[in-house]
Amino acid sequence: MDVTKEIERLRRELEYHNKLYYVDDAPVISDFEYDMLMQQLIKLEEEHPELITPNSPTQRVGGAALSQFTQVRHQVPLESLSDVFSYEELASFGERMDSQLDEEHTYCVEPKIDGLSMSLEYENGVFVRGATRGDGQIGEDVTENLRTVRSLPLRLTDAPERLIVRGEVYMSKSVFRELNSIREINGEALLANPRNAAAGSIRQLDPKVAASRKLDIVCFNMQYASGEQYLTHAQTLDALKHMGFPVVPYKLCSTIKGCCERIDWIGEHRDEFSYDIDGAVIKINSLAQRSYLGSTSKFPRWAVAYKYPPEKKESRVVDIVVQVGRTGVLTPKAVIEPVRLAGTTVTNATLHNQDNIDRLGIRIGDTVLVQKAGEIIPEVLSVNMSKRPDNTVPYRMPEFCPECGAPVIRDEDGVALRCTSPECPAQRLRNLAHFASKEAMDIDGLGISVCQSLIASGLVNSPAELYYLDAQSVAALERMGKKSAENLINAIEKSKGKGLASLICAFGIRQVGQKAAKTLASSFGSLDKLMEASELELMAIPDIGAVTAGFIKEWFELPQSRHQIELLRQAGVSFESNETVRDSRFDGMTFVLTGELSSYKRDEAAAIIESFGGKTSSSVSKKTTMVLAGENAGSKLKKATELGIKVISESDFEEMIK
């Protein structure tokens, strides 16, 4: 076999199927068959790394992290559009076009994608550079991150020698929901909307992070094409689609009235698009007429963006229910009479928390004004007091979890209420995923999808029940099989000896992470001694304050926690500490690590410091003992110098740990 030819064949076949899937929406092979082709290519490239190219389909997972983005001057400026907010304003635009163009003209109407605008450059059909819009004249080079976007073609069919295309990077609604679901499980802050999520993802310095966000792109303009002559914008879009680009859908209209009808259609069907839409774009179709009309200092004269106003409608509150999220937070929700908003029928609206309910003064039976916040989440804006029925009463959040009956506590910020039970059904997935995570019991092969399968099948309802699984039952789960099940059972068995620090961390007690868990494990030595400790004894431990001590004590006093611990004990999970401190030369010392270390990763250096009884911090303060500074150290080094804190080099550190 000619390896070079086989690699090239596989690349072209994968690119062909990418086009069918992302552009034509007409795949002819299954995901499994596609994955098998990809695995063949990966294997050949691993055996012949000298044949790997930046545009290979295998490189979409992301390359090396970038230190910064370089600036790019756009060959063709990326102009923005003037906005119109009513059909009267749109009619005025049409009148201007009629007065300035003596000949007949048509309009091209497209949905306005709410994403991040990009310039894409190709040479001889090969993707060479991508840049953000920036100020329209100068943007940032994000080529490596754009290579991870699966719907972006890296090689084109029948392309001109040089081509510049403008597109919109977006995060699909389904991916956005999935990403926020995972962030919720991990206790991370939720992303506000798909547009912000896409913008933050494409500007990640590590392309692997961008790759994990599953971004997409849709193209809407040909900026430049050497040697090509097109008469209309519609022709350029058709040509781009032929080359392999996912292209924005368009409709040609001969009148402004026809444009309005198309805008209405887009608005009514906006929920059916995979991307968020915040309006519609109306453009003169003829490229010659565009050239004649030209641009102002800010906008092209031949196009406008019609922005959909946020729809607001009244509805009646039928009930107020409380949902328990995967992190245990109780969120009140208004159940309302069905109302049509932004293309969807809305029957629920978030009320956020008790403070917001009090601010609105909302009660069951009230008539309220509802809109979609950011066109995504329905929310209540106000109460129509004139329509309030008699005998309504103020609403108060429950004192006990509606899912499991455990007491709820108020967060430190005084806003959110949270369920305290480790066995709460609403928190099963989050608790199970955290228990198995690397920083906790480190159970290899027990990711989110497997956790979901275990819970859905009824095999596991709480983390402790993992230790009572058998391979046969696990093998019956979807996508598991005998070997995968055996590997998972072995990993669960192995985790029994992880030690007390990992177990404490796995419990998910509030404010008790890896560092606090290690401190507690080394201080008490066994779980039984920790359970017996008073709050005063807990507060005597370094880094355990009054609030954290209270959380620890409350968690161990819950009947559900005691039940979990007893199940773990009977399963043979180690309750003893295996933390070994070689000596205590760094006892009572706090280090801050900054800059680039050549001999260690930061977490490796931190582990060494902790093994000698010290601890690390992310910020410099008067409590800092010394700062370990590597290359390109920045503000932390400056602050340490200002405070007179000792600064050591990597070689100094190596001398200290000999």
Helices (H), 101-188: 143-146, 173-185
Cβ neighbour number for residue 170 with a 10 Å cutoff: 29
In a 10 Å sphere around its CB, with 0-12 CB exposed, 13-18 middle and 19+ buried, how is residue 402 labelled? middle
**Cβ neighbours of residue 610 closer than 8 Å, sequence gap 6 or more:** 515, 518, 616
Distance between CA atoms of 421 and 2, rounded to whole angstroms?
A: 62
Q: Is 112 a catalytic residue?
A: yes
For the chain, the C-alpha Rg in angstroms (whole number) is: 30
Give the strands of the sheet with 126-132, arranged side by side.
126-132, 116-123, 162-170, 216-225
Q: By C-alpha distance, which of 402, 355, 364 is closest to 383? A: 364
> Of 112, 283, 372, 636, which residue is the catalytic one?
112
State both tokens at 17. Answer: 């199927």
Helix/strand/coil for 241: helix
Query: Following DSSP, what letter does each residue of 560-625 receive, concatenated?
Result: HHHHHHHHHHHHT---B-----S--TTTT-EEEEESB-SS--HHHHHHHHHHTT-EEESS--TT--
Cβ neighbors of 272 (< 8 A, separation 6 or more) are 343
Residue partners of 189: CB distance under 8 A and separation at least 6: 183
Tokens 């005597």, residue?
540
Distance CA 439, CA 435 (A): 9
The DSSP symbol for 153 reads -
Helices 3-22 and 31-47 pack at an angle, to 10 degrees, of 150
Strands (E), 414-460: 417-419
Residue 255 sits at φ, ψ, to 5 deg, of: -135, 160
Separation of alpha carbons 459 and 195, rounded Å? 38
Crossing angle for the helix pair 500-507 and 559-571, to the nearest 10 degrees = 140
Instruction: Please state, as a whole number, how many other Cβ atoms lie within 10 Å of the Cβ of residue 657.
Output: 13
Which residues are 162's β-sheet partners? 123
Positions marked active-site: 112
